[in-house]
A and B are shown apart, each in its own frame.
Chain A
């Protein structure tokens, strides 16, 4: 979603340098090829969906061209057009990351949605929301943390994190009525991000939570989880 409003009708133009490029009827390889554009012809790039570019020929034919074919085009100055792909380089220099994890929260099934912002490749902050559903109670957690990534250049990149948050515990309805309670908690975390392909990351993680209860003892909770993330 980025274009200057007043430049709405102007699009990036490139020149086909391959003998021809194929135009599909939709943004996936499964859609049929219905048109080819020959070398030397100029095309306008209208929009992009995943790895596919919607282009328009001079005669007004519109269709979808794959990223790999767009790499074989020239700018109007005759230079190679640069349509950057998402590779491990992007993983190393990612700014935003959003992911989903599932795991075991001291016996309860947990689901986590998180978003991270990288200040530098080695330091990031993260906010996460989790729900852990056990046999006797259900917990909602919100946490913020700071993470250190000492080896950002590695494909399997470990991290350490420290964070704080709140936990809301509500007992299951079938039990004797007890009141909901809210406590603060802190956690230390160790885990690793593994770059898979394109924009995908696999994350494995262990968390050790310290729940500061209003009772005499503080509670310790362990969580193991795994999940997928995409980065931008």
Chain B
């Protein structure tokens, strides 16, 4: 029943409840799809048995009329989330063979809501990348191709395996994590929806840490409604993460009223960057026109420190990463390369275990935190962060949400942009400010470029106002009516 994999997550949920098909049939269709997309290398570990077990339990509950919010819905999990007894690598050689003895809070919440696991998805090593090319387990191929060109393309990153799996109809949804755009950019490249919630909305406990003050988990799905359902299951206060915020989780699906009349949408002038693809500019104009037609008012806003977001990010994120990744020492888990002394063992293990991009960032982080440079780099970057957050606070006095493109370009070919780290970093120019300020953002597929590849628009909102972000995103989705498939 391949048509089952074409359903949106919301329609699959409704179909299960209406007994149109069983959770077992839904799981089997998706397990077959996971096998079919093996050439994309989207999964590091497949867990068909877990999916079937979960489906059996779901069918029992559905029969008794006790279905939970995501009962029987097959999803994929980024390999950054610890899953009890299931290999968790973070895309790195250094976590070879690591089977966590515990479950991350976000995945535990998803299983408590009835979702079932198809497997663990490939990703840039330790979530450092925008292409999925830095994975120790090899690059992920996007299911998309440029018009008239069969070269393999990247799905974006770092949540590239999740994006490819959802776009290729092998999962109804997938978890991602977003430190500088790692949910939204691959969602835009792959023609799907990806949401980064407000910092603190989802627990970070049990997620392999990259940059703790920026990391946030979120849903990747094909429709905005699906993202609302999945976020509702993922979110919530967790005493085990001291930055997780104790406030009730709204019914996000209820927020999708379709009514955006009277809302004010900010259009930041600083997001018109030099050398931006003119198609992306046109799509942005189109997005503005769609929202105006739906009754919103547009407001010109200024976020004057936008151009400093990326350089600030490339201090803060590597600094935190260098601290977080200190734990990979060959002693407690993962890879160990023997050495004559303890230090030699550390150095050899970390040299063999980390890929080039991770090594680069750990070294940058080590340098900017080292004695004598801390103020010049790390504190300076934290001051810039304050200014960026102030820019947003000022803007939100005039508007309710902000509309921008998600990425300055469409997907590129596997192997491109690898020789210049800074060219790669520019992929995240529109997404990084939201992380630095901790704000919620969503990417919605809005059209195709001339090359036949998907383009996304981003809606950013006020802290903890995911509801308005989702409501606007759904209106945008309806107007764009994106029906293209890879």
B and A form one assembly: no
